[in-house]
Amino acid sequence: MRLAVLGAGAVGRSVVELAGEYGHEVVAVADSSSAAIGANGAEPLDADTVLQRKEAEGVVGDADPDDALTAEYDALIEATPTTLGDAEPGFDHCETALQRDRDVVLANKGPVAERYADLRALEANSAGTVRFEATVGGAIPAICTIEDYGADTVEAVRGVLNGTANFVLTRMAAEGLGYEHVLAEAQDLGVAEADPSFDVDGTDAALKCVILANVLTGGEPEFSLDDAEVEGIRNVPGSALELATEEGQTVRLIGEATRDTVRVGPRLVPENGPLAVTGTRNIVQLDTGHAGRLNISGRGAGGPETATAVLADVGRLE
């Protein structure tokens, strides 16, 4: 398939790099200020050239970013940063592609979490299809598993969906260190951003759970971030982890989506149970109606990991 990749962060760059390996061609790449478009908007770009220019000059090419939207792609890869509320400009990008009857594959959580019904309405009037496996749990096949089982037969989905928060809690428990200390360490390692609030306040995990809730209900009722009950990990002191450990338990930032509620917060879980994944690892746990519980764990973030989920979606569109 011919792909246009919007967003040249870790995920977008990895999609550009790996697309050829999956038998796809990238005909357009855009970041916030520039674009590279193949000849006639339809010829494949050379991935190395684009990626080297991005690294050396901070731009992907000489074209206008908007031109990427009008290129001759089969599927638009929306990998721009997640925005809340109106989810712009990501939502506009999806709208343009769907109005042109092209498929859309999202790594950007905004449109699926904040405007699920709007997005599905656009899809209903388009020959294109919307997919968004990469928005939840990185490389973990969460959404396609729910779809395969049948959303109606899945009662609840929960898990550890933010690697940064999980890294911090894991280190605090293992080393007996305080929150601020471990956070600074995580920032040094590149596990946490300079502004970690999106991760440690639970927003990122909540967006993923909102998306899962929308998949469970099919958008009726529709969930957005405002419907989620969210608490982060800033208020978890070392003393709490110590008391948990004494009882063979630990604390994890657990997000849970059902057809009625979305909740994210620090929870006590058995230290050796499936939800107590360590480090930046994620886990998605599905409660199914007929097949008991399913646990899928793996890498929940990272360029190649998330690009793998994006390209798996592209494969499903073929």
Chain contacts with other proteins (rule: CB under 8 A): 155-156, 158, 231, 235-240, 242-244, 246-247, 249, 251-252, 254, 265-269, 273-275, 287, 292-293
Are the C-beta atoms of residues 275 and 160 closer than 8 Å to each other?
yes
CB of 310 to other proteins, least distance (A): 30
Quick one: which of 198, 6, 215 has its CA closest to 116? 215
3-state helix, strand, coil in the chain (%, to 5): 45, 20, 35
10 Å Cβ neighbour count for 316?
Answer: 14
**What single-letter DSSP state applies at residue 63?**
B
- The strands making up 103-106's β-sheet, listed across from edge to edge, are 35-37, 25-30, 2-6, 75-78, 103-106, 130-131
> Which positions are catalytic?
208
Quick one: which of 243, 287, 251 has its CA closest to 268? 251
**Residue (34 or 285) nearer to other proteins, CB:** 285
DSSP states along 225-281: GGGEEE--STT--HHHHHHHHHTTEEEEEEEEEESS-EEEEEEEEETTSTT---TTE
CB of 68 to other proteins, least distance (A): 43
**Residue (68 or 183) nearer to other proteins, CB:** 183
**Residue (129 or 297) nearer to other proteins, CB:** 297
Length of the chain: 318
CB of 206 to other proteins, least distance (A): 16
* H helix runs in 130-162, sequence order: 143-149
CB of 235 to other proteins, least distance (A): 5
**Residue (219 or 238) nearer to other proteins, CB:** 238
CB of 273 to other proteins, least distance (A): 8
**Residue (244 or 262) nearer to other proteins, CB:** 244
